Amino acid sequence: MEEDVFSQYQISDKWKLLDNIKDRSKCSICNKSRKYFCYTCYVPVSCVLNIIPEVTLPIQIDIIKHKREIDGKSTSVHAALLAPKDVAILQYPDDLSSLSYNNRTILIYPGKNPCSLTKYFELQPIYTSSVKEQKETTEYGAILISGQVLKLPFDKAVFVDGTWNQSKAMYGCLKNLPCIVLKSRTSQFWRHQKNSPRWYLATIEAIHQLIDEIYQYCYTITNTSQTKLRDHDNLLFFFRYMYHIIHSFYDHNSLLSYRRPLNL
């Protein structure tokens, strides 16, 4: 029986409706045959448009995807599908010339002198104002909690998507950005990554973890209970469904990915 390892998240139950889709459809952009979404154009097919939720993120997300990373294996597309207004997928090295990041951008990567998000907030404190003092509360890097606007010290986060060796090459082009490491979290990704511990997250898991840590910190410093719906949990909508599909064919303990050690 499939274990619900996602029970702590508020993911829309509509992921179960994806089981009803039996036929493939044409991508509205490239016309290629796809089941649920096009992993090269980053758009859903027409029959799932009314099923998938749309997530709004407090920051922009750039995903630098290595051109040799296989499109169908990457979970980056999940973020672009579910938060299309806030997520951009760029290709390495083709799109490097278009990259220009300012001092309000962070890199999620264990690079030179990395620090936790909490430590970064201690070094670059969050500015707080009332709603009346803030003209615009929907801008990136601003979070509204109980009548307070929390202005984050960044409004964009960059992720790299590729194998460990590929990511090291991409990091060489981004090393001037401050590096943030996320809290350890057990990955539920079903694809085995050789010589990697269980806390190496799939890209969509890492994006979800970052947003989760941002909200947790903001609710803590405002002494506010997190009572609002966890809309960002819907970033895991397709990931939850794919997990369900994989576990309908394979026993959890038989997959090498779930037998990886927590530490190496």
Helical ranges in 92-249 per DSSP H: 117-123, 164-171, 203-221, 237-249
Residue type, 25: S
How confident is residue 189, by pLDDT bands cut at 50, 70 and 90? Answer: confident
What is d(CA 264, CA 258) in angstroms, rounded to the nearest whole number?
A: 14
How confident is residue 3, by pLDDT bands cut at 50, 70 and 90? Answer: low
How many Cα neighbours within 13 Å face the side chain of 121?
A: 19
153, two tokens: 């010290």
What is d(CA 88, CA 99) in angstroms, rounded to the nearest whole number?
A: 12
Does the structure show a pLDDT above 70 at 195?
Answer: no
What is d(CA 251, CA 148) in angstroms, rounded to the nearest whole number?
A: 47
The pLDDT of residue 225 is 80
- Segment 193-197 shows an average pLDDT of 65
Give, rounded to a whole angstrom, the gap between the first and last alpha carbons of the chain: 30
How confident is residue 66, by pLDDT bands cut at 50, 70 and 90? Answer: very high
In contact, 76 and 83? CB cutoff 8 Å: no
pLDDT digits (tens, 9 = 90+) for 131-157: 765 555 568 999 998 888 999 999 999
pLDDT digits (tens, 9 = 90+) for 212-246: 999 999 999 999 887 666 899 999 999 999 999 98
